[in-house]
Amino acid sequence: MKQKTTFICQNCGFHSPKWLGRCLNCGEWNTLIEEVEELVTAEYSFPASEPLLYEEIKEARRQRIKTKIEELNRVLGGGVVLGSLVLIGGEPGIGKSTLLLQVSGDFANQGEKVLYVSGEESLEQIKIRGERLGLRDGNLYLLAETNLERIIAQAEKLSPQVFVLDSIQTVFSSKLSSSPGTISQVREVANQVFRFSKRNGVSSFLIGHITKEGSLAGPKSLEHMVDVVLYFEGERDHAYRVLRALKNRFGPVSELAIFEMGRGGLKAISNPSAFFLKERPVEETGSVVVCTIKGSRPLLAEIQALVSATLFSGNPRRMTVGLDHFRASMLLAIVERKLGYSFAGEDIYLNVAGGLLIDEPAGDLGVILAVVSCLKNKAMPPDVSVFGEVGLSGEIRSVNQPLARLKEAHSMGFKRIILPEGNLSHLEKKDIPDINLMGVKNIKQALNIIF
Ligand SMILES: Nc1ncnc2c1ncn2[C@@H]1O[C@H](COP(=O)(O)OP(=O)(O)OP(=O)(O)O)[C@@H](O)[C@H]1O
Ligand SMILES: [Mg+2]
Ligand SMILES: [Zn+2]
């Protein structure tokens, strides 16, 4: 029998009967790969389930298990939920296996039974890493295997509480004839592990490699299948690693944890504000410290602006890193209209230091002050930190959690805070730390205080 083949986009899962240079669905180039067409769905037989009355559904008693790494628990929303499937993505060599082996050892040490499956490394290689990390006693089982059906069979037999698969791209299902790492295989692996987890109430972790373009193979088709998506990022030359939640069915997203990679493995950094401000240039123009909120926690971050005459007239650049591009354009338009500057001949670069992403409007005032500091060639006083949303007429609007922001700035040694007048008037005197607060109603007032 001649096998029917189809071309599948490895980025988005789009099917095409013939090869295309560019995917019609997501627009990526050279992502279509020929795969054998298979009808796998037909042979799945699920046990039929009955509808249950809401009141009759019992609440699971033990819902989450926690690691000793408090920062990881927080990113997961307070520990890992039993029976949930967590996908951890990251670039090659960033430390995914290290993190998961550490976590596995930690769970095992607390009395959970853990199965760590590797399709990439031998048991001896994993043991060497484990020795370096100083893993202690516990029910930690290792398995080196790449066949998914055999892995699931072993997992059913061992019946662990925690299951780790390293990595999703190296394991293959024998139900499919396409090679490991293709979108059909990756989906099938995630699908089978998902059903194994739910069936047995096992907390499972899938490790996924991210391609150079910054996406997991078949990201769009995987992210909706799993409960939690975490990204592990960092510069390979630096010891710092950031773990962030991109999706979480059981907790807030935009939580992040920072780790330091050393010989003994990953160590959580408990004061991220200090980390993000560590290399801040003092008395430099275009640099402003903002009090932002990341997930459930306040964080100080440095916004940097650079304005320089454009080389190609008529086409000035607007580059933003770590800020929403449209929001930044809007803020630049406000600076032009309300403060009378003109950027027609200027390139403008905006950056949040340390690779942080500021995705809340409370950073607005910081962006505007950074740009104006650059234009005026005047540095911000080093003891000032700011927060506030900016509206289209240049008014400063209140933001959430003002007190948490003030306390974080205070604890980091800032003496003066510029904040929305609306927030200031609603704060209770007795709660406010001993710090100089300057409430402002519009951007002109803020500029008068600073410059
Ligand atoms: N002896 C050591 N001392 C300090 N750091 C080490 C040591 N050995 C390895 N590392 C660090 O561990 C990291 C590699 O970790 P790991 O193998 O967990 O990454 P990974 O994301 O699983 O990689 P891969 O894509 O190869 O699976 C590297 O950043 C490396 O610098
Ligand atoms: Mg690895
Ligand atoms: Zn596509």
Find the range with the poorest average confidence among 99-103, 118-122, 262-266: 262-266
Q: How many residues does the chain have?
A: 451
Residue keyed to tokens 């100080």: 300
Tell me how far the alpha carbon of residue 112 lies from the centroid of ligand 2, in angstroms: 23
Q: Is 261 in the pocket of ligand 1 (CB under 6 A)?
A: yes
- Quote the CA–CA distance of 128 and 138 in Å, as a whole number: 17
- Which bound ligand lies closest to the C-alpha atom of 20? 3
The model's pLDDT over 57-70, given as tens digits with 9 standing for 90+, comes to 877 666 899 988 88
Tell me how far the alpha carbon of residue 19 lies from the centroid of ligand 3, in angstroms: 12
Q: Is 413 in the pocket of ligand 1 (CB under 6 A)?
A: no
The model's pLDDT over 102-112, given as tens digits with 9 standing for 90+, comes to 999 999 999 99
Tell me how far the alpha carbon of residue 129 lies from the centroid of ligand 1, in angstroms: 9
Q: Is 164 in the pocket of ligand 1 (CB under 6 A)?
A: no
Mean pLDDT, residues 170-187: 88
The answer to whether 186 and 192 are in contact (CB under 8 A) is no
Tell me how far the alpha carbon of residue 225 lies from the centroid of ligand 2, in angstroms: 22
Long-range contacts, 318-322 (Cβ 8 Å, 24+)? 318/347, 318/348, 319/347, 319/348, 319/349, 319/350, 320/349, 320/350, 320/351, 321/350, 321/351, 321/352, 322/351, 322/352, 322/355, 322/356, 322/357, 322/358
Residue 196, pLDDT above cutoff 90:
yes
Find the range with the poorest average confidence among 156-165, 185-194, 366-375: 185-194
Find the range with the poorest average confidence among 179-188, 234-243, 403-412: 234-243
User: What pLDDT does residue 93 have?
Assistant: 87
Tell me how far the alpha carbon of residue 240 lies from the centroid of ligand 1, in angstroms: 12
Q: Which percentage of the chain shows pLDDT scores above 70?
A: 93
For the domain made up of 275-450, give the CATH fold: Ribosomal Protein S5; domain 2 (3.30.230)
User: What pLDDT does residue 274 have?
Assistant: 85
Residue 318, pLDDT above cutoff 70:
yes
Ligand 1 atom with minimal separation from the 129 CA: 8
- Which bound ligand lies closest to the C-alpha atom of 98? 1
User: What pLDDT does residue 1 have?
Assistant: 46
Identify the three-state secondary structure at position 252: coil
The model's pLDDT over 210-255, given as tens digits with 9 standing for 90+, comes to 865 555 555 556 888 899 999 888 766 677 888 988 889 988 777 7
Tell me how far the alpha carbon of residue 96 lies from the centroid of ligand 2, in angstroms: 6
Q: Is 131 in the pocket of ligand 1 (CB under 6 A)?
A: no
Q: Is 96 in the pocket of ligand 1 (CB under 6 A)?
A: yes
Find the range with the poorest average confidence among 12-26, 45-59, 206-220: 206-220
User: What pLDDT does residue 215 have?
Assistant: 57
Q: CATH homologous superfamily of domain 64-270?
A: P-loop containing nucleotide triphosphate hydrolases (3.40.50.300)
Query: Where along the chain do its domains lie?
Result: 1-37, 64-270, 275-450
Mean pLDDT, residues 156-184: 91
- Quote the CA–CA distance of 388 and 37 in Å, as a whole number: 54
Find the range with the poorest average confidence among 13-27, 159-173, 224-238, 408-422: 224-238
Q: Is 178 in the pocket of ligand 1 (CB under 6 A)?
A: no
Is pLDDT larger for residue 91 or for residue 336? 336
The model's pLDDT over 33-43, given as tens digits with 9 standing for 90+, comes to 887 766 555 44
Mutate to test the pocket of ligand 1, among 87, 91, 98 (most ligand atoms within 8 A of CB): 98
* Fold match, 64-270 / 275-450: no
Q: How many CB atoms lie within 10 A of CB 296?
A: 14
Ligand 1 atom with minimal separation from the 99 CA: 18
Mean pLDDT, residues 9-30: 87
The model's pLDDT over 116-131, given as tens digits with 9 standing for 90+, comes to 999 999 999 999 999 9
Tell me how far the alpha carbon of residue 444 lies from the centroid of ligand 2, in angstroms: 52
User: What pLDDT does residue 269 have?
Assistant: 85
47 pLDDT tier (thresholds 50, 70, 90):
low
The model's pLDDT over 374-393, given as tens digits with 9 standing for 90+, comes to 999 999 999 999 999 999 99
User: What pLDDT does residue 152 have?
Assistant: 97
Mean pLDDT, residues 324-349: 93
Q: What does R_g of the chain's alpha carbons equal in angstroms?
A: 26
| Nearest one of 248, 280, 450 to 356, comparing CA atoms | 280
Q: Which percentage of the chain shows pLDDT scores above 90?
A: 53
User: What pLDDT does residue 90 have?
Assistant: 87
User: What pLDDT does residue 42 have?
Assistant: 42
- Quote the CA–CA distance of 229 and 85 in Å, as a whole number: 9
**Which two tokens mark 141?**
């089982």
* Shortest-distance Cα residue to atom 16 of ligand 1: 95
- Which bound ligand lies closest to the C-alpha atom of 13? 3
User: What pLDDT does residue 214 have?
Assistant: 53
Residue 44, pLDDT above cutoff 80:
no
13 pLDDT tier (thresholds 50, 70, 90):
confident
| Ion ligand 3: residues, CB < 5 A | 9, 11-12, 14, 23, 25-26
Encode burial over 233-260: b for 16+ CB neighbours within 10 A, e otherwise: bbeeeeebbbbbbeebebbebbbbbbbe
Tell me how far the alpha carbon of residue 207 lies from the centroid of ligand 2, in angstroms: 8
User: What pLDDT does residue 197 have?
Assistant: 95
User: What pLDDT does residue 134 have?
Assistant: 92
Tell me how far the alpha carbon of residue 94 lies from the centroid of ligand 1, in angstroms: 6
The model's pLDDT over 267-314, given as tens digits with 9 standing for 90+, comes to 988 888 888 888 888 889 999 999 999 877 889 999 999 999 888 777
Q: Is 277 in the pocket of ligand 1 (CB under 6 A)?
A: no
Q: What DSSP string runs through 396-424?
A: EE--S-HHHHHHHHHHTT--EEEEEHHHH
447 pLDDT tier (thresholds 50, 70, 90):
very high
CA terminus-to-terminus distance, the chain: 79
